[in-house]
Amino acid sequence: MRTLTPSLITEKNKLGSTSPWILLYEIQVDATPTSYYFAAYPESVDWNGVTWTPMGVRHTDFKEDAKGSIPSATLTIGDPLRIVGNTLEAGENIIGYTTKIHLVHSTYLTDPSAAVTHEYEVTGATLTQDAVSLTLGLSGLIVRSFPSNRFLRDSCRWRYKSTECGYIGALASCDKTLQGGDGCESHNNEPRFGGFPSIPTNGLIYFIK
């Protein structure tokens, strides 16, 4: 939602206030947990049913050029405890996943609709010893796959422990096969396998829009 609600318009138009605006960052990864929730604020923030952890987070403005390039910005997370860095170094993917930036006001944290939300795609990531830098971009046709879904015989298309996957057990990983050493069968989760083993073994890949 990009339009300000009446309550946020009231706050915006005030000449002065002691209640701050707060930026919240929702960062999706191919890992467990599947999202990190950070607040650019000195203390935890409870909003929309989630506790947002205080973190040194900032992002640059989106820039456009005269060459028609897709606008991008850099999101930098101060990560001295390696909360995100260790996840990425373990091989979990963040490229292609969504980051949402929510602008909320401290007076209206009990109202989930009182927010301005922008959604971006992570197109790059850089790690240092105490920080993670993400390149955020707007989805473009030249980098998006068509059609949007593929029917694969031997590979599950669901993100591990997502709603579609449905696995809630203690195993920490999955190789996204049906009968592999770390696949759905070993997780007792065969009914939720996101592949299509009935497809003939002729090397074809079936697409669906």
Residue limits of CATH 2.30.110 in the chain: 6-143
Q: How far is residue 22's CA from residue 70's CA, in Å, rounded to a whole number?
A: 27
* The residue to which tokens 């669901």 are assigned: 158
Q: What's the rounded mean pLDDT across residues 113-119?
A: 88
Distances (CA, A) of 182 to 83, 170, 173, 192, 199: 25, 13, 7, 15, 22
- What are the tens digits of pLDDT across the range 42-88? 999 999 999 999 999 988 887 666 666 667 889 999 998 888 888 88
Q: What is the number of residues in the chain?
A: 209
* The residue to which tokens 């930036």 are assigned: 101
Task: Return the pLDDT at 5.
Answer: 74
Distances (CA, A) of 193 to 33, 91, 150, 157, 166: 20, 22, 14, 8, 10
Q: What is the largest CA-CA distance in the chain?
A: 69
Q: Closest Cα partner for 161 from 18, 33, 28, 22?
A: 33
Task: Return the pLDDT at 140.
Answer: 52
Residues with Cβ within 8 Å of residue 70, at least 6 apart in sequence: 137, 138, 140, 143
Q: What is the DSSP string of 118-134?
A: EEEEEEEEEE-SSEEEE
Indicate the pTM of the whole model. 0.61
Task: Return the pLDDT at 150.
Answer: 65
CB-CB contact of 60 with 74 (8 Å): yes
Q: Closest Cα partner for 155 from 126, 121, 197?
A: 197
Q: Closest Cα partner for 52 from 71, 39, 61, 70?
A: 39
- What are the tens digits of pLDDT across the range 165-201? 999 999 989 999 998 889 999 999 999 998 888 877 6
For the chain, the average pLDDT equals 82
Instruction: Indicate the CATH number for domain 6-143.
Output: 2.30.110
CB-CB contact of 39 with 45 (8 Å): yes
